[in-house]
Chain A
Amino acid sequence: DTAVSQTPKYLVTQMGNDKSIKCEQNLGHDTMYWYKQDSKKFLKIMFSYNNKELIINETVPNRFSPKSPDKAHLNLHINSLELGDSAVYFCASSRTGAPGNTIYFGEGSWLTVV
């Protein structure tokens, strides 16, 4: 069983569209994250949720809106997609948000905006 699963794995869409990426973890973890990895492979945190509550919201455009219906799910909705949004988006989870906890990553969602 996949610990952190996200869908879709690949997404190609036009500028201006709205799209969502779904994420689920079956590890029973309290904390979930969204990371963005750009073409230079730099992995940057976007959001962190603990038990459905937003903990971290980095300087991400408000076109990006995370939603956590329960602690096992953290979805990412993106409005009015721009070319610069093209990247790999990783969902992740950890037992708690404390430093030193292992972060378990999904396989990534490869978003291409054309």
Chain B
Amino acid sequence: TQLLEQSPQFLSIQEGENLTVYCNSSSVFSSLQWYRQEPGEGPVLLVTVVTGGEVKKLKRLTFQFGDARKDSSLHITAAQPGDTGLYLCAGAGGNNDMRFGAGTRLTVKP
């Protein structure tokens, strides 16, 4: 059983559309991170959220941490082909190491 469940697993949309991806767990996290991984590269941190209910914006990306700190969402407005990639959420596991969800593979078509 994975600590973090991400949905959807795959998402293919047209340029200009909006989308939301989700990261859910039954565990409470002190912090949760979102990373983006492009083909042939390692994951790169987008944001860290630490407070329940927190909302952070990074240009067209909006991240929200659930009030109970068990889940998070990432909303992208007016998606662009450059947003294509694997979006991974990560939360601290039992040994305080960061455990990753299986990711959402986003494809934005021009």
Contacts and interface: CB of A to CB of B under 8 A. Distances in A.
Given A90-B42, A92-B42, A107-B40, A41 B102 contact: yes
Nearest to B41: A107
Contact of B48 (A48, A100, A107): A100
Contacts, number: 66
Taking each of A90, A92, A103, which has the highest tally of chain B beta carbons within 10 Å of its own beta carbon? A103
Contacts of A90: 42-43
Interface string A76-97: 0000000000000010100001
A43 interface: yes
B105 interface: yes
Contact of A102 (B42, B45, B50): B45
A89 B95 CA distance: 21
Contact of B31 (A45, A97, A100): A100
Contacts of A92: 42
A103 B98 contact: yes
A98 B95 CA distance: 10
A85 B97 CA distance: 22
A45 B90 CA distance: 11
Contacts of A66: none
Contacts of B93: 45
B88 interface: yes
B31 A99 contact: yes
Nearest to B103: A41
B40 A103 contact: no
Given A99-B31, A99-B92, A100-B31, A45 B40 contact: no
12 contacts: A33-B97, A40-B102, A41-B37, A41-B103, A41-B105, A44-B100, A45-B99, A97-B96, A98-B96, A99-B29, A99-B92, A107-B42
Given A41-B37, A41-B105, A105-B43, 9 more contacts: A41-B86, A42-B102, A45-B99, A55-B95, A56-B95, A99-B30, A99-B98, A100-B31, A100-B50
Q: Which 7 A-B pairs have the closest CB atoms?
A: A105-B42, A99-B92, A100-B31, A43-B100, A102-B45, A42-B102, A56-B95
